[in-house]
Chain A
């Protein structure tokens, strides 16, 4: 496996926008650098242009005039996909139904004229790597969804691509399988060391797999950053709400305090402001007695999730506040509680967003 490491190419997307023939503006001109061996996740709601971006990198779609795609500094924009040496995993897997599993995996090598003995060795290697031993001679319609996903991945990786492109590879699977394969996929991508661009609309998938995450909104890049950056310091309300659970509160700042209906919450901000939007993650709020806390409110409802319980609190801010409390906390709806929040946990967002 170490022999395979470091096959990645660096990718640069330079001012790539996309307007389709029917006038749909799928992508605003975007510029993006992806380091060799990095796993970059494109994350966003349906229709935000993730697939379009991926297809431009793959060479299945041409960017609008002025846009360029560079691999290791080389302009690849006019190069068709068959000569870009990219491995692709499609959401529908697109496995060849007229071929067996091993023929699918070996197809790219066959096209490249790799002798059959060498090809068989490489296929065996990938069958072992993706855990599908015993299925080599099956046809595609004799495989389960999870098995298909593995074959699709093995086929894409077999050609030792410089870049691996995956379009929602786990979306078609049920939740339990998705979680298991996600971990497996993560280990595999790290081991292979190929530059990977991974499309998903699932934020937890994005955070687990991505070295960096690109959050997209309506064809534009909303924020680029490591999973920690986009989680702890979202730059807009959209990003804050799309990544994990977030309380968005509207308030005024007076004398380093957020003035809320339920009290005054200390924050790190020296200037007074009449109207601000702030984000507070549910897990950063601690439930205390009413006396000692900066904020207080009344419990509206409680949902027990298992590893924690989620309280919905009214009266603390201008809208209901979600609070993650330890699963051992004894409380009930209607009770008045105090809420204590560290000033570090309050993130101010640009007001208009």
Chain B
């Protein structure tokens, strides 16, 4: 067997899996999306129909906020954890990355325990101000849940990137007169840019499409996955939910591509 045909043979399983579990259902989804009363125009509904559009904007804002806050929190924490040695560090890292194993349902459950009607925050605010603070069942609860979900993943990526930073670059910047802030701005953050893009993309995509947490918290939160669910199960509106699904995929992909091209120069330079 020639080297070439061997390579092709190895690619066969990949081709089968791709076709069976990816291309065929996707094609079916796309066809179904166009199968409604409006035909292909069903795809535009996600942008033209006011309720859908509002939900889309909501979802994108939620995902963007989650990504930004996650990156800020995880960068500071990851940098500190990677650069300092202190007793209990290993335990802390283990604890921070523990939620990696949780499904969305468990995360939602924990948000209810924290900010629900019987939650800790409510108890606390009740005692302090005589008023119960409850936000678990809203988009704010969902935001908190997504943070909880994304931070561990991003922290791990950032820690690995910080470990690979060239300490010589920071020393060089300092020798040229750069103080701690300037070193972060001019050397550390640019070098971490690829890690930001990679881990930010995962946080963003997760927040766009995650369902379990939202479903656990409430059924009337205005995010796209919930909308698809209600259209599909409650309204039995198969074509709309298919069109919305395809729309969700395309929009997420588009925003990620945009982010990547924006940071592209920084990534290329730091790589």
Interface-side segment among B127-135, B164-172, B225-233: B164-172
- The interface residues of chain B lying within 8 Å CB-to-CB of A98 are 186, 190-191, 266, 269-270
- The interface residues of chain A lying within 8 Å CB-to-CB of B191 are 97-98
- The interface residues of chain A lying within 8 Å CB-to-CB of B179 are 82
B269 touches A81 (CB 8 A): no
Q: Known pairs A82-B179, A97-B269. 18 more at Cβ < 8 A?
A: A60-B175, A81-B174, A81-B175, A82-B174, A82-B175, A82-B176, A83-B177, A85-B177, A88-B175, A90-B168, A92-B168, A95-B172, A96-B172, A97-B191, A98-B191, A99-B186, A111-B176, A112-B177
* Given contacts A60-B171, A81-B171, A98-B190, A107 and B176 within 8 Å (CB-CB): yes
- A53 interface residue per 8 A CB criterion: no
Mask of B235-271 contacts with A, CB within 8 angstroms, 1/0: 0000000000000000000000000000000100111
A107 touches B269 (CB 8 A): no
CB closest chain-B residue, reference A159: B176
- Residues 12-34 of A contacting B (Cβ, < 8 Å): none
* Interchain CA distance A112-B176 in the complex, whole Å: 9
A82 touches B172 (CB 8 A): no
- In the complex, how many angstroms separate the beta carbon of B5 from the nearest chain A beta carbon? 38
B175 touches A87 (CB 8 A): yes
Most chain A Cβ neighbours within 10 Å, of B178, B179, B182, B270: B178
- A243 interface residue per 8 A CB criterion: no
- B136 interface residue per 8 A CB criterion: no
- A339 interface residue per 8 A CB criterion: no
- In the complex, how many angstroms separate the beta carbon of A302 from the nearest chain B beta carbon? 46
B176 touches A94 (CB 8 A): no
CB closest chain-B residue, reference A107: B176
Q: What 3 pairs between A and B have smallest CB-CB spacing?
A: A108-B176, A94-B168, A94-B172
- In the complex, how many angstroms separate the beta carbon of B187 from the nearest chain A beta carbon? 7
- B47 interface residue per 8 A CB criterion: no
- Residues 170-215 of B contacting A (Cβ, < 8 Å): 171-179, 182, 186-187, 190-191
CB closest chain-B residue, reference A165: B175
- In the complex, how many angstroms separate the beta carbon of A210 from the nearest chain B beta carbon? 22
- A86 interface residue per 8 A CB criterion: yes
B168 touches A82 (CB 8 A): no
CB closest chain-A residue, reference B182: A111
A-B contact pairs, 19 of them (CB 8 A): A58-B175, A60-B174, A60-B175, A82-B179, A83-B177, A86-B175, A88-B171, A88-B175, A96-B190, A97-B270, A99-B186, A99-B269, A107-B176, A108-B177, A111-B178, A155-B172, A155-B176, A156-B175, A156-B176
* Given contacts A107-B186, A111-B182, A88 and B269 within 8 Å (CB-CB): no
A82 touches B178 (CB 8 A): yes
B174 touches A80 (CB 8 A): yes
* Interchain CA distance A85-B175 in the complex, whole Å: 7
Indicate which residue in A94, A99, A108, A156 contacts B171 across the interface (CB closer than 8 Å).
Answer: A94
Q: How many residues of A contact B (CB 8 A)?
A: 26
* Interchain CA distance A25-B200 in the complex, whole Å: 44
A139 touches B269 (CB 8 A): yes
* Given contacts A90-B168, A107-B186, A96 and B175 within 8 Å (CB-CB): no
* Interchain CA distance A155-B178 in the complex, whole Å: 13
* Interchain CA distance A321-B171 in the complex, whole Å: 48
Indicate which residue in B177, B190, B271 contacts A159 across the interface (CB closer than 8 Å).
Answer: B177
B173 touches A107 (CB 8 A): yes
B166 touches A94 (CB 8 A): yes
CB closest chain-A residue, reference B268: A139
* Given contacts A107-B186, A111-B182, A139-B269, A96 and B177 within 8 Å (CB-CB): no
- Residues 44-64 of A contacting B (Cβ, < 8 Å): 58, 60
B174 touches A94 (CB 8 A): no
CB closest chain-A residue, reference B187: A96
- In the complex, how many angstroms separate the beta carbon of A250 from the nearest chain B beta carbon? 46
- In the complex, how many angstroms separate the beta carbon of B173 from the nearest chain A beta carbon? 7
* Interchain CA distance A82-B173 in the complex, whole Å: 8
B169 touches A94 (CB 8 A): yes
Mask of B39-62 contacts with A, CB within 8 angstroms, 1/0: 000000000000000000000000
* Interchain CA distance A81-B191 in the complex, whole Å: 22
* Interchain CA distance A80-B171 in the complex, whole Å: 11
- Residues 86-144 of A contacting B (Cβ, < 8 Å): 86-88, 90, 92, 94-99, 107-108, 111-112, 139
